[in-house]
Amino acid sequence: MKIGIIGAGFVGSASAFTLAWSGIAREIMLTDINQSKARAEALDISHAMPFASSCKIYAEEYAALEGADIIIITAGVNQKSGETRTDLLARNTAVFKQIIRQIMQYTADSIIIVATNPVDIMTAYTVKESKLSPNRVFGTGTILDTARFRTLLAEHLHLASQSIHAHVLGEHGDSEVLVWSSAKVGTMPIDEFARVTGYRLDTEIKNLIDDKVRNAAYHIIEGKGATYYGIAGGIARICQAVKNDENAIFSISSQLESVEGIKDVCLSLPSIINRHGIRQVIYPPMSDNERLLLKNSAAKIKSFIAE
Ligand code: NAD
């Protein structure tokens, strides 16, 4: 599989490394407004390949995107300590206008995955500017928040995170919704699992977990300036699902035409991914309060788009 990555910063290069190391990509082309950085990252990653896979990785201009199966956009300005994702909006739309025009000049049938923040809005902008079918353009959305939720639940319940089935939906940002009502361990509702195994999972613990998921990015950015390994893992996993035509489910951000009264907005719902992109978006069972929170999250994203 050939993958193009636009933006060779922390997220772009960590994604390139993960995709190359895992053997998911056969060929990776990096491009950046700072091409010497893209070249240096490609060279550095290529030196790990004798230990891992035969992926070919290089830095090039947009014309080399031709034939790419997937293009990942991670270019943009990074979120600074104390800055919200929406503060980034104006700067990043200007960058995107130029990037999308160049992508579309050389490839018209790739799948585009957007990681740049604010990701729901950048995804909506990419759908609109690229004019591609909305099932071929999506954002990483809450895939990372969902991973953080599963990690914290797994730590609390002393389980493998792969055995936790729970989603964070809505905006990848402050209004995201942790869907507790349908969270499961294997096939068992999570509250029931905690009760029979003797783990505390009351409102106080749930609020602590909620706070840690919601504020994870802020804490990581405070400590090391950026977050990238988690999202790189998520990006690689999505690419793998496309490559293998898996029909696997991820909480990713896509353009919703009309789902339970939510429409004309990009936000995250569980979505089935295969080699064509999004096969179907699913509206899962939720409590009345979670449904309301999801609608509020959609309204918040819409108000940013209107701005
Ligand atoms: P970074 O600053 O390290 O990298 C951004 C790169 O984009 C830089 O190398 C820069 O030169 C490049 N760039 C800027 N303008 C460009 C242009 N016009 N064309 C090509 N390249 C251009 O930032 P990062 O830490 O890699 O983060 C990238 C984005 O990903 C940010 O918006 C960040 O908020 C976001 N992010 C998203 C998630 C998620 O869950 N979706 C997680 C972490 C970070």
pLDDT tens profile 265-302? 999 999 999 999 999 999 999 999 999 999 999 999 99
Q: Which residues are catalytic?
A: 172
Domain with CATH 3.90.110.10 in the chain: 143-306
Give the pLDDT confidence score for residue 85 in this predicted structure: 62
Mean pLDDT in residue range 204-210: 98
Could you give phi then psi for residue 3, rounded to 5 degrees?
-125, 135
Nearest to 242 by CA among 110, 56, 75: 110
Asked whether the predicted pLDDT for residue 248 surpasses 90, the reply is yes
Ligand 1 contact via 133 beta carbon (within 6 Å):
no
Q: What's the pTM? A: 0.96
CA distances from 83 to 35, 153, 222, 224, 300 (A): 27, 28, 11, 15, 17
Ranges of CATH 3.40.50.720 domains, the chain? 2-139
Is residue 125 classed exposed, middle or buried when 0-12, 13-18 and 19+ CB atoms within 10 A define those classes? buried
* Ligand 1 near 114 CB (within 6 A): no
Which residue's CA lies nearest to atom 15 of ligand 1? 76
User: What would be the CATH architecture of the domain defined by 143-306?
Assistant: Alpha-Beta Complex (3.90)
Mean pLDDT of 158-170: 98
Mean pLDDT of 208-225: 95
Asked if 77 contacts 92 with a C-beta cutoff of 8 angstroms, the reply is: yes
3-state SS class at 149:
helix
DSSP-derived 3-state class of residue 145:
helix
Cα–Cα distance, 240 to 90 (Å, whole number) = 32
Ligand 1 touching residue 6 (CB < 6 A): yes
Name the band, by pLDDT with cuts 50, 70 and 90, for residue 140: very high
| Surface-to-core class of residue 81, CB atoms within 10 Å of its CB (0-12 exposed, 13-18 middle, 19+ buried) | exposed
Mutate to test the pocket of ligand 1, among 15, 74, 228, 238 (most ligand atoms within 8 A of CB): 74
- Per-residue pLDDT of 50-93, as tens digits, reads 999 999 999 999 999 999 999 999 998 766 677 776 677 888 89
> What average pLDDT does the structure give for the chain?
95
Looking at the chain, the number of H-run helices and the number of E-run strands are 9, 14
The reported pLDDT for the residue numbered 216 is 95
Q: Rounded mean pLDDT of 225-231? A: 96
Residue from 117, 125, 145, 238 whose mutation best tests the ligand 1 pocket (most atoms within 8 A of CB)? 117
Distance 185 CA to ligand 1 centre (A): 35
Record: fold of 2-139: Rossmann fold (3.40.50)
